[in-house]
Chains A and B, each alone.
Chain A
Amino acid sequence: MTPPLYIALRFLTHRKRALLLSLSGVVFGVAIFICTQAQTQGFARYFIDSNIGANGALVVKSRFRPRYEPLMVAAKGSKEPTSRRLYFEGITNPNEIMRVSRQFPNVVSCSPVLRGTVSARAGFENATVDLYGIDPAQHARTTDILHQLTDGNFDDFRNNTSSIIIGSRLAELLQAGVGDTVQLLAPNGEYWRFTVAAIARAGIGSIDSTRVYSHARVAQALLQQPSGASMIIYKLRDPDRAPALATRFETLFQHNATSWQEREESTLQLFLTLRMSVAITVSLIILLAGFGIFNVLTMSVLAKIKEIAILRSMGYRRIDISSIFLWQGALIAAAGSLLGCALGALMTWGVSHIPIRLRGLLYTNYFLVTWDWRHYVFATLLAILAVFIASYVPARRAAELPPVVTLRGSSV
């Protein structure tokens, strides 16, 4: 143990009340930071996981129309011809695109979907629904639909082409349960009769209140669509790399490809803004703790003027003196961060057990939290930075104290 560290420890333990005051500021700052980040990111993570689980990490749809810029004549007054991208709706050759895209190492699986909007009727209730015509086996491999089922059986759906799976909120709206009949209105005005095989809850309100899954062949006939798929959804090993893969797919397949980040950009920005806002607020708490430590250490320097002069007379250098006070700060930061991380984890666990009934954007019965080691590292780094800044000025002041003035008995 270096002499400054030894003396710092002794100085710290001597002033127990001041130590507790400084320590509690850091402990609560770190704990609150961790807990609030866990909550805000918890909601965001849940949204992302649910979204990717239901809609895939990447979606390929709508073939690009060829560009004919060399043939186009710019309108009068316009400097350049329009460059807006135009599309042919749907996938031209879904099987070939899926065969090629499966060669990419990041692709786990993919599933073609024929999508259309229809009206649904059950009893006296009506709703506009988003019909997803799927291949049950491929869709089960690509999405979390198996885990989303709250009632009924996926095999019943797989084995019965006249069955459907409906979203949980849509089921409530139509007052339909497993085994009930739901009628879907075809574009030609005919009602098609389906049996509800299962009910799914993705956890996202917009999906659960509109989504209906049927077999792809049945959907194709009902929607009277010539193409076999209006989009292909992908499950990726690393969803964070979806934007790069989307760019690659657009070039390769000449189809529009959208990553989940692009698809949910506005909601993700909302979560990010919320997290930033909370982080700034909590950082201010840690800064306030830093001010507390600044005061405590400044008072400590004033109270230890005599000791500082003695140490200097015994050959301690200026840097040793400043180290004593920096060590005090470091010890407070280390102990405070450690206890703060433990308290933060405890608070996060406690918050995750608080009941909350959300049925809007997200579906949850409890506060959502995420356990991320980076929160703990960031909170610790923030505490160390705040404490270092708070300790630096008193430490410097202590080092600059002229020992002779104190030894002569004068005030500084």
Chain B
Amino acid sequence: MNSESCLSCEAIERYLGEEEERVHALRGVSLEVEAGSVHAVVGPSGCGKSSLLYILGLLDSPDAGRVSIESEPVLHLSDDELAHKRNRLIGFIFQFHFLMEDFTAQENVMIPMRKLGQLSDAQMRDRAAELLDGVGLGDKLRRPSRHLSGGEQQRVAIARALANDPRVILADEPTGNLDTANSERAFELLQNLVHKRGKALVLATHNPAIAEACDWIHEMKDGCITASHPLGTRSSIS
């Protein structure tokens, strides 16, 4: 992995829980993600995929190791500075989409933009409409998110993750709650965005078909990355 690295971590250690329930969730994990590439992190439940994503997304701090965004170490930054980087550079997609139920689809997409504060209200509305149109929800802008189907909600979550034009998109089981057709559609959407607009995508998934379609597959087990395969150099993932 060379070219321009937009996100990397090195020798990440993370313990979860207290005392007797303490679990060594991540054991010396290193990863480098360059712009325009899609990385799949696969492995059994509890192997540390989500923990790795939260650390890469600056939502959680590792007990040891370093994380860099665009070659700049970030772990020494204050909570507010980390929040600002999250807002500007990172887009999150969660398995259960996690939308604000009382907000419309458009308002949900506008939430990160409001925080960034670079656009006027009208501009934010236009951009949200454009993003929702891009994920096929141009006709459901004003519908409260709780009145959307599961697939539609996940597409709103994708649009929201792209709201501030982030450098990196982190997706934790983005298709885990969708049927096959919706899964494929959501993944295609993400893949197109990454390749066309030079983003980086790291996704944790159990779906072998989706993992196979990624530029890189990182296999995790017991908190370690046991193998990393670029596209076309691996046998099928179980």
Q: Which residues of A contact B (CB under 8 A)?
A: 3, 6-7, 10-11, 14, 306-307, 309-320, 403-404, 407-408
Given contacts A3-B114, A407-B59, contact A312 B94 (CB under 8 A): no
B87 on the interface (CB 8 Å rule)?
yes
> Which of chain B's residues have a CB closer than 8 A to the CB of A7?
111
The interface stretch among B36-44, B78-86, B135-143 is B78-86
Given contacts A403-B59, A404-B59, contact A311 B94 (CB under 8 A): no
> Which of chain A's residues have a CB closer than 8 A to the CB of B94?
313, 407
Separation of A319 and B79 alpha carbons in the complex (Å): 10
Say which residue of A309, A315, A408 sits within 8 Å of B115 (CB atoms): A315
B102 on the interface (CB 8 Å rule)?
yes
Given contacts A307-B100, A407-B54, contact A317 B80 (CB under 8 A): yes
Q: How many whole Å from A112's CB to the nearest CB in chain B?
A: 74
Given contacts A407-B54, A407-B59, A408-B50, contact A316 B102 (CB under 8 A): no
B184 on the interface (CB 8 Å rule)?
no
Contact, CB under 8 Å: A315 / B54: no
Which of B159-211 touch A at CB < 8 Å? 160, 164, 172
Given contacts A403-B59, A404-B54, contact A315 B84 (CB under 8 A): yes
Known pairs A311-B111, A314-B92, A314-B112 / 14 extra A-B pairs, C-beta < 8 Å: A3-B114, A3-B117, A10-B103, A11-B102, A309-B98, A313-B86, A315-B87, A315-B90, A315-B164, A316-B83, A318-B79, A318-B80, A407-B50, A407-B94
> Which of chain B's residues have a CB closer than 8 A to the CB of A6?
114
Separation of A11 and B102 alpha carbons in the complex (Å): 8
Separation of A403 and B100 alpha carbons in the complex (Å): 15
Say which residue of A10, A306, A307, A312 sits within 8 Å of B83 (CB atoms): A312
B57 on the interface (CB 8 Å rule)?
yes
B126 on the interface (CB 8 Å rule)?
no
Separation of A257 and B170 alpha carbons in the complex (Å): 85
**Residue in B closest to A314 when the chains form the complex, CB atoms:** B112
> Which of chain B's residues have a CB closer than 8 A to the CB of A310?
98-100
B125 on the interface (CB 8 Å rule)?
no
> Which of chain B's residues have a CB closer than 8 A to the CB of A408?
50
Separation of A310 and B54 alpha carbons in the complex (Å): 12
Contact, CB under 8 Å: B59 / A313: yes
Separation of A11 and B107 alpha carbons in the complex (Å): 13
Contact, CB under 8 Å: A306 / B115: no
Contact, CB under 8 Å: B88 / A315: yes
Say which residue of A14, A309, A311, A317 sits within 8 Å of B79 (CB atoms): A317
Return the 10 tightest CB-CB contacts between A and B, nearest first.
Answer: A315-B87, A3-B114, A315-B86, A317-B83, A314-B112, A404-B60, A14-B102, A313-B92, A310-B98, A317-B80
**Residue in B closest to A13 when the chains form the complex, CB atoms:** B102
Contact, CB under 8 Å: A314 / B59: no
> Which of chain A's residues have a CB closer than 8 A to the CB of B85?
315
